[in-house]
Amino acid sequence: MPGFPYGPSSEKTWCPSLTLLSQVSSDRSPYDLGRRVLLDEVPRSMVGGDLYWFWKPYELYAMVDYVYGAKAWEDGDGFATILNLLETFANIGYLVGTHVYETRAALLVGYTGATATLAKTLLYSLNQYFCNGCDIRHNTAFNLFAYWIFPNIMWILFPGFIMWRLGSDMMDSMAAASEKYKVD
C-alpha cells in the first residue's frame, strides 16, 4: 500500500528495534514453550530425556534460573510458559501486521507485546526479590550478573524504549485525528 504510514517503508512509526525484539522473542519463545509443554510423564527435554539433545543449549539457563529447569517442571509451574506464549503471539502479530498486512493495528499489537515483555520481566524480578532469590540464589555473583541480571536489564530497557516509541506514535496519531475531526 503506497504511502502507508505504519509499515517498514515509514520513517515515523516502523520501529526496527521492535522488529528485532519481536523476531528474537518469537524465535526463543516456541523453543522455550516446546521444552516445557511437550513433556510427557518423563521430562523428555531435560537431562536424561530422549529429546534433551535439542534443548541442550538451555542447560546453562536452567542451571542459572530454576524457573526454566526441572524444579519448575516438578512443581507444575507453567506461569513462565504461558506468559512467553502470550508474548510470542503479540510479537508475531506485530511482525505480520507491519511486514505482511501493513495495518495500523500493528502499533497497538506491538505496544501490547512490548508491555507483556516488560511486565513479565518485572514480575519475574519482583518474584525473585520477594522470595529471597528462591530460583536464583544458588548462583555465584558472576553467574547471577552475567546470566540473569544483565539479560533481564536488557529485557526491561528494550521493551521500555519500544513502548515509549510506539506510545508516542499512537498519541501523535490520536492528536492528528482529533484535529482533523474537531468541531468548531
Query: d(Cα 161, Cα 109) in Å, to the nearest integer?
Result: 15
What pLDDT, in 10s, does the model give residues 144-177?
A: 999 999 999 999 998 899 899 889 888 988 888 8
CA 84 from chain center: how many Å? Answer: 6
The pLDDT tens digits for 67-94 are 877 777 778 777 777 787 888 888 888 8
Whether the CB-CB separation of 144 and 136 falls below 8 Å is answered with yes
pLDDT higher than 90, residue 140: yes
Closest to 47 in 3D by CA, of 31, 62, 64, 32: 62
* Integer Cα distance of 159 and 22 in angstroms: 10
Q: Where are the alpha helices (DSSP H) in the chain?
A: 16-37, 52-55, 59-64, 70-75, 79-99, 105-130, 141-144, 150-180
Residue where the block lists cell 526479590: 129
Identify the residue with better confidence: 16 or 50.
50
**Model confidence pLDDT, tens digit, residues 10-46:** 445 456 656 666 656 555 556 666 666 555 545 677 7
Q: Within its chain, how far is the Cα of 146 from the centroid?
A: 19
